[in-house]
Amino acid sequence: MTSVGGLLFSTAALAATLSTQAFTTPSSHHIFKPSFTQSNSQLFNRAERRKAKKKKSRTSLLDVDEEDDDTAATPSGRTITKSELILLGGGEAGYDYEVGESKIPIAKTTSKDIKPKPSKFDQELSGKRIQEDGILGESVTSPASVSDMPLEPGQRQPDVSTVTTDPETGIARIQQGKYVMDKVTGKAVVLSSLGAEYRLAQMFPGVPDEIRSRYRFDWNTVTVEEMVSQLKEVCTVPLKSSDGKEWTGIPPHPMVSNPAVDFVLANRDYLGHRMKKTLGRLKLRAQSQFKKEEALEYRKLWKHFMLLEDHISAPFRQMMLNAEGKIGPNFGNLDVSSYCGGELYERTASYLVLKSMVAHWEKKYQDAMRLEEIPDENFMAQLYTGDPKRYLPDPPIIFRLNEVSRIVIMAQKMCKAFVDTSELFDDLPAEVKFIESALSIQGGTALRQYTLEEFCPANNIDPASLREGLKRLYQQMFNMQIDPYGDLTMTLWNLCVATSVGTDDARDPYEDYIANVKGNDYNSNPGFFQTYTFDHDKNSLVRFLDGSKTIDGASATNPNEVARQVKAEAMELFGFNFGGGSGRGDPTDGVKQEEPKAYKVPEDRAIGRPHMMGWLDLLAEDEELGVKEDTFEADKWEEVKKS
């Protein structure tokens, strides 16, 4: 062993450190290199050096004064104690003054100089995203979403949102970028360069009166069958292939036609997510009756309509994303004019982000209050309440009452400061301003009275136009992510319903298709499809919850054990284990495979439904991940230009 300045190193380690290969590092890093002018005997012949030094010390000790018997100065001026024994290496003892001055760089910082890592709550209050071990969590304005997770640890956020394949699961998912991607162009959304008025038109798009009158539904009489038929007709255009073959059909994904965009914009308040839901049910209805061709047609129209919705709402989502980037880092700053000012479309987006933030955190506060009241023994009630991501081993969210309450109070103050600043709020679109005043009114009758007698006259808008504006705003908000915009979006829908009572807009032809109000059979219910139960894997979360039905009873399973299992399942269920493997291993490794047994579903969940009908596999070969719907590249097709 060799001692340098009191630090012990093995000879092999020291030799490796002094070798030239040890310093083959990038030149940008400063590396300490010892001098090689000394001979090998000076470095490694320790026995000879110790004998010479001991002989010299015995001679010098006869000449020193008594006051120097215990101390001596080193060449560097360091005072040492001669009587202090240290290990010189090789199991031999010697004196400290016999050891040369250390060549090891001395640390310039201590543990006291290192700033403590900010807590999740501190990160949230600063407006930043929670970051723990490479996992991105929520911020005050953004969700803890799977789409925000990097595919690999340390991977940078892409410039444009894209659809990618998760290497852990093989499942396609969205990876959120800095800019919203227009699915039609495959590129980042481009906001108009013609000025603020054009950008406001992108935020709340419409069509000229001539096109509106051509495509607009008569809401008093139109049926779902007619709406679906007209949508399919306008989406069907003349097409031709590269070899000259012509026919009519829905353009291959991701192409859209101008007539289809105009049709959707003319009826935006009547279509939206309820049409999405209806087309989905019609596809499942045909599939459950084993009508494969009809199911394929509905699926193609359904997919095309969702593409149109994404394309139309893309500028709105980009403006909201821009507003998040301004408000998040300024959380707690009540000088809202300093970061929420700007053009009308920018201020509108800022208000919607602030109001969504308030609604989201008020809901989290209510959940936290409810969790405080639920007894620990009632684990299933706890499981159903609030954000289930809190069961992850290191939750990327804030959910405790004392922390949530501080955030919701500040969010309310920021939103109030915006509303109280007239130059920010007073000229916002009428349907946006209506949200603020309407939410303070209790009762549907009082709300409609306020709308007719106060709000509409004061804002120079008729009630029908206000209702249409609210529904169009609702459709735009519905295309935002659920967290944190879902709570305000549902509030908007409630306002739409409440203000429509007693008017022609109260009619809802979709109800028969999506609400199951006409029975549970194919003849009486136009949106009915027969569901069935599955043979779920014995390690699945469904089977686990089936076995935990008695958790509320006196003989229930240990709630702590149930919580532990839920956390393990939640890691994979919510996709927060990227880049590091599932950590559970392959359950088939080293285990003899058994013949799968039919699973008997608990009766309270089966509720008389058939078991393993198999119709969901009818389109399996077409819906398998990685299989393209069209066998031709999109650039081999083009819309026929009408002369």
Residue-wise pLDDT tens digits, 345-367: 999 999 999 999 999 999 999 99
The whole-angstrom separation of Cα 259 and Cα 207 is 11
Most confident of 25-34, 40-49, 461-470: 461-470
Which DSSP letter does residue 117 get? P
Compute φ and ψ for 468, nearest 5 degrees.
-65, -40
**What pLDDT is recorded for position 6?**
38
Compute φ and ψ for 364, nearest 5 degrees.
-65, -35
Q: Residue 63: CB partners within 8 Å, gap ≥ 6?
A: none
Find the domain containing 65 and state its range: 2-20+35-98
The whole-angstrom separation of Cα 366 and Cα 358 is 12
Which residue among 138, 161, 182 closes a domain? 182
The 10 Å Cβ neighbour count of residue 304 is: 24
**What pLDDT is recorded for position 9?**
39
Nearest Cα neighbor of 588 from 638, 539, 640 is 539
Which DSSP letter does residue 452 get? I
Question: Do 137 and 397 touch, CB atoms closer than 8 A?
Answer: yes
Q: Quick one: what percent of the chain has pLDDT higher than 90?
A: 43
CA neighbours within 13 Å on the CB side: how many for 569?
A: 17
The whole-angstrom separation of Cα 382 and Cα 361 is 18
Burial of 402 (0-12, 13-18, 19+ CB in 10 A): exposed
Of the pLDDT bands very low, low, confident and very high (cuts 50, 70, 90), residue 588 is very low
Question: Do 516 and 525 touch, CB atoms closer than 8 A?
Answer: yes
Tokens 């049926």 correspond to 223
603-627 pLDDT, tens digit per residue, is: 888 888 888 888 888 887 555 444 4
220-264 pLDDT, tens digit per residue, is: 999 999 999 999 999 999 988 888 888 899 999 999 999 999 999
Within this chain, do residues 370 and 484 fall inside the same structural domain, yes or no?
A: yes
Structural domain includes residue 519: no
Within this chain, do residues 170 and 205 fall inside the same structural domain, yes or no?
A: no
Structural domain includes residue 74: yes
Within this chain, do residues 296 and 411 fall inside the same structural domain, yes or no?
A: yes
**What pLDDT is recorded for position 148?**
56
Within this chain, do residues 138 and 40 fall inside the same structural domain, yes or no?
A: no
Structural domain includes residue 8: yes
Within this chain, do residues 273 and 215 fall inside the same structural domain, yes or no?
A: yes
Residue 34 pLDDT greater than 50, yes or no: no
The whole-angstrom separation of Cα 575 and Cα 589 is 23
Both ends of the chain: CA-CA distance in Å? Answer: 93
The C-alpha angle 420, 421, 424, rounded to 5 degrees, equals 125
Tokens 């630090």 correspond to 7
Residue 433 pLDDT greater than 90, yes or no: yes
The 10 Å Cβ neighbour count of residue 387 is: 19
**What pLDDT is recorded for position 110?**
56
The whole-angstrom separation of Cα 522 and Cα 426 is 52
Average pLDDT (133-162) is 62
Q: Which helix (H) or strand (E) holds 261?
A: helix 258-266
Within this chain, do residues 340 and 474 fall inside the same structural domain, yes or no?
A: yes
Which residue among 496, 514, 532 closes a domain? 514
Residue 372 pLDDT greater than 70, yes or no: yes
Which residue among 471, 498, 514 closes a domain? 514
**What pLDDT is recorded for position 376?**
83
Q: Do the strands 79-81 and 71-73 form a parallel or antiparallel pair, or are they unpaired?
A: antiparallel
The whole-angstrom separation of Cα 568 and Cα 571 is 6
Range of weakest confidence among 82-86, 330-334, 453-457: 82-86
Residue 513 pLDDT greater than 80, yes or no: yes
Within this chain, do residues 169 and 216 fall inside the same structural domain, yes or no?
A: no
* Mean pLDDT of the residues in the chain: 76
Within this chain, do residues 208 and 279 fall inside the same structural domain, yes or no?
A: yes
Range of weakest confidence among 216-225, 275-284, 291-300, 371-380: 371-380
Structural domain includes residue 624: no
Task: Please indicate whether residue 324 or residue 377 has the higher confidence score (pLDDT).
Answer: 324
Burial of 76 (0-12, 13-18, 19+ CB in 10 A): exposed
Within this chain, do residues 322 and 366 fall inside the same structural domain, yes or no?
A: yes
Nearest Cα neighbor of 197 from 396, 369, 343 is 343
477-491 pLDDT, tens digit per residue, is: 999 988 889 999 999
Q: Any idea how long the chain is? A: 643
Structural domain includes residue 176: yes
Within this chain, do residues 63 and 169 fall inside the same structural domain, yes or no?
A: no
Of the pLDDT bands very low, low, confident and very high (cuts 50, 70, 90), residue 520 is confident
Residue 474 pLDDT greater than 90, yes or no: yes
Nearest Cα neighbor of 307 from 365, 237, 250 is 250
Range of weakest confidence among 155-159, 388-392, 508-512: 155-159
Region label for 24, one of left (φ > 0), alpha (ψ between -120 and 50) or beta (otherwise): beta
The C-alpha angle 335, 337, 342, rounded to 5 degrees, equals 155
**What pLDDT is recorded for position 30?**
40
* 3-class DSSP string for 557-592: CCHHHHHHHHHHHHHHHCCCCCCCCCCCCCCCCCCC
Dihedral (Cα; 415, 419, 420, 426), 10-degree rounding: 160
The 10 Å Cβ neighbour count of residue 70 is: 11
**What pLDDT is recorded for position 33?**
40
SS3 (DSSP) at 164: strand
State the total domains in the chain: 3
**What pLDDT is recorded for position 638?**
45
Most confident of 113-117, 440-444, 555-559, 575-579: 440-444
Question: pTM (2 decimals)?
Answer: 0.70
Residues of 223-253 as b/e, b for ≥16 C-beta within 10 angstroms?
ebeebbeebbebbbbebeeeeeeeeeebbbb
Of the pLDDT bands very low, low, confident and very high (cuts 50, 70, 90), residue 398 is confident
CA neighbours within 13 Å on the CB side: how many for 374?
A: 18
**What pLDDT is recorded for position 636?**
37
**What pLDDT is recorded for position 587?**
45
The whole-angstrom separation of Cα 391 and Cα 549 is 19
Q: Residue 434: CB partners within 8 Å, gap ≥ 6?
A: 451, 455, 459, 466, 470, 495
Average pLDDT (120-126) is 64
Task: Please indicate whether residue 3 or residue 519 has the higher confidence score (pLDDT).
Answer: 519
Within this chain, do residues 88 and 154 fall inside the same structural domain, yes or no?
A: no
Residue 268 pLDDT greater than 90, yes or no: yes
The whole-angstrom separation of Cα 616 and Cα 627 is 17
Structural domain includes residue 561: no
Within this chain, do residues 498 and 417 fall inside the same structural domain, yes or no?
A: yes
The 10 Å Cβ neighbour count of residue 424 is: 19
Of the pLDDT bands very low, low, confident and very high (cuts 50, 70, 90), residue 17 is very low
Structural domain includes residue 529: no
Structural domain includes residue 554: no
